[in-house]
Structure formats: C-alpha cells, structure tokens
Amino acid sequence: MTRAKKTTIAAAAIILGGLWAYPTLQALYQTVHLFDEDRIVENFRSADRLWITRTMPASTAPRPYAVGTPRALPETFIFDEQTIDTEQFLTDSWTTGLLVIQDDQIVTERYSLGNTAATRNISWSVAKSFISAMIGIAVDEGHIASIEETVDTYAPELKDSGYGGVRIKDVLQMSSGIAFNEDYADFDSDINRWGRGFATGGSQDEFAASLVRGREPGTKNHYVSIDTHVLSMVLTRATGKTVSAYMQEKLYQPLGMEFDGYWITDKHGAEMALGGLNLTLRDFAKLGSLYLHNGALADQQIVPADWVAASTRADAPHLQPGVGFGYGYQWWLPLSESGEYMAMGVYGQYIYVNPSSNTVIVKLSANPHYNDRSYIPSNDFANLALFRRIANTGAD
C-alpha cells in the first residue's frame, strides 16, 4: 500500500471517528453548560432538543382546573427576620411560572421569561414524588408485594452493589446507606459524575450497581438521587412496563393531564427517574391536588389513601424535621403544624401542599445562582416562607 493511500485511509478514519464522537461530545458540552446564565431558561424548557425522550400523550379526558376569583400575591413576606419584597424575590429567583390553587380553583397563574401555559418545563427532583406515587400504586396492585422487601428482589443486578439487601422502604426514605456526594457545585461530585456519564451514553442501571455502602441502611437520611433510579428499576421490573407507560396508564390519563408530557431517557431506554420529567405548570399541580385529596379524584382512588398518608409523614427519628426538612416517601416535610409537604427540585422547582388552607402552589424556576447558598432566592426555606404567606393570604 502506498504512503498516499495510507494517509488517505488514516484521514478517513479520523474524520469518521470524529463524526461518530461528535454527538457524544456535543451532549457532554451541553451538559457542562446546562446551567449557564445565558442558557439555563431555554435549556429548562427544551429538554427534548437536548436528550432522548419518551412522550406521554395528553389525557383523552382532560381535567382543567376551575378558575376562581383572581387573588393578588402578598406584597411582602418575612424570612429570617427580614422583610422580602415578593415581586423582587420572584424576579431574583428567575421564576418562570407560578400557580396558586385554593379550594381546587386557580387564584393566581403567572408566567415569565418566555414560558407560557403550554410550556413543558423540566422537573428535576420534583419527579421523585411522581415515582413514589407509582410505587404506591404498584404495591396496591400487587406487582410489589411489600416495601419491606429488598430492592434486589426485583432488580437482581443490584445484589452485589451497595444496594444489596436494602429495603425498598429505606430507598423511598433516602436512607439507603449509599455513600454519595450530591453537591452540584462540586464538579467531581457523584451526582455530576453521573450527569456526565448520562450525557455520554452511560447506563443508569450500571451506575447504580457501581455504588457502595457508606453506612447501615435505615439509620440516616442522606439524599442520594440514584435511590430514585433504583426505585424505577424496581417499578419497571415489577410491572413489566417502562416508567412512561406505567405513568401514562396510572396517572397521566386518569388525572386528566392537559398537554403531552415526556421523560428524558438514557441511551439504554431507561427514564431519568431522578429528575427527567417534563410537564406544564398546571399538569405538575395535578399531583399536588391528588395528594391534597388523599389520592382521590372525583370518585376514583388513584393513589391509595394510606400510601399518601405514609408518604407525607416521617415515621422514624432520623427522618424527623428540625432545623432542616424531614423526609417521607420522596416528599420533603417542613416542621409544621398544618401538615405541609413539598416536592422540590434543584434550581427552584416546587410543588407545595398545605392541607389546612386547601392550597397547592407550583413554582418553576431557572435560577442560575442556585448553588450560591448566601443568595436568599436560592434558599428552600425562603421559598417555603413565601408559600406559607401565599397560602395564608386568604385568611388575612
């Protein structure tokens, strides 16, 4: 073979290799820059342009909320002995949507930064509460015999990992005992390592199976997002359906979701259960309303009432709220006399439920300063203070 031919073949190999690698490199680049200030808002409403997705069609029997008498937001609220201007807080936290539902009627609905009622926004960890609801349904239907069973009973590939022998219940309560660094501000953290692996085509199942034990399960509430992926592994093996298909049947259709929604998936077809759900503001709210009504909608019990009750209370000392939030089955529990609970996602996503005032609030945001702990609009307790002020406004 002549040198010219060898050079030509080598050049062709480099070009073809570059073409093969380009989508992976592009995905990695998009992931690394996902939260940049000049991109974050668009990225949060355009996940279907960035990743592989699986669609859930809108319900054939949509259930729009009734619209009540519009209610102005409180001008201020108190946080940490400071008076906070509500409008400035919403602006500074890069709020893209705010929905207030009281007595099952919309009293406030606002969109900003280009979002509309039809915008499907990424949930981040708000998705975890949807996964919990589906686990409850699967238990009720007998697909999962008991949450006292271990996760490797249903996902045997986890047997030799840190998840081997861990109860489903401990995973639900973020008490799996897995050693994990969830710091989004740390480039080398486990959660960011997972994110880069996801972007470059890695298997979430294999990532979960690579994790090791850090402490005895059921003894400490330690937030591990991969716990929710493990729950999705249990769910899909137990039901024989994808997360999207099961959600379509058990939640999406009966709740009357008004718009198509979708899950991000990895290249192996597994949903990003820990945070890849994309819905509209109103459709996110429907889970909060369902739980407010103890899992029932009209005359249909969609999620078992006892599951809703168990999901929204802390049943062990290490789960109790105190200076921080407590934890239920993938729901956050503030110290409260009114039975409040929340679904929370990074960068400012919330579903807040207050049974005492019959209130559901959904706030979607794209806050690029989320990892700045000194920045008040990034503080979950500051957002909680706002929600409480809104929920109690009608009683003023």
307-358 pLDDT, tens per residue? 999 999 999 999 999 999 999 999 999 999 999 999 999 999 999 999 999 9
pLDDT over threshold 80, residue 134: yes
28-42, 198-212, 320-334: segment of lowest average pLDDT: 28-42
Q: Give 53-77 pLDDT, tens digit per residue.
A: 999 999 999 999 999 999 999 999 9
Confidence of residue 396 (pLDDT cuts 50, 70, 90): very low
- Residue 29 pLDDT more than 80? no
Question: According to the model, what pLDDT value does residue 393 have?
Answer: 85
Kindly state the average pLDDT of the residues 152-166: 98
What pLDDT is attached to residue 31? 72
* The pLDDT of residue 20: 47
Given the candidates 3.30.70.1450, 3.40.710.10, 3.10.20.600, 3.40.50.1980, the CATH classification of the domain at 40-393 is 3.40.710.10
Q: What's the confidence (pLDDT) of residue 304?
A: 98
Q: Is the pLDDT of residue 5 over 70?
A: no
Q: Which residue has the higher pLDDT, 16 or 25?
A: 25
Task: State residue 4's pLDDT score.
Answer: 59
Whole-model pTM: value is: 0.93
Confidence of residue 377 (pLDDT cuts 50, 70, 90): very high
% of residues, the chain, pLDDT over 90: 90
In the prediction, which pLDDT does 21 show?
A: 46
- The rounded distance, in Å, linking the Cα atoms of 194 and 192 is 5
pLDDT of the residue at 26: 64
pLDDT at position 7: 55
**In which band, very low, low, confident or very high, does the pLDDT at 395 lie, cut at 50, 70 and 90?**
very low
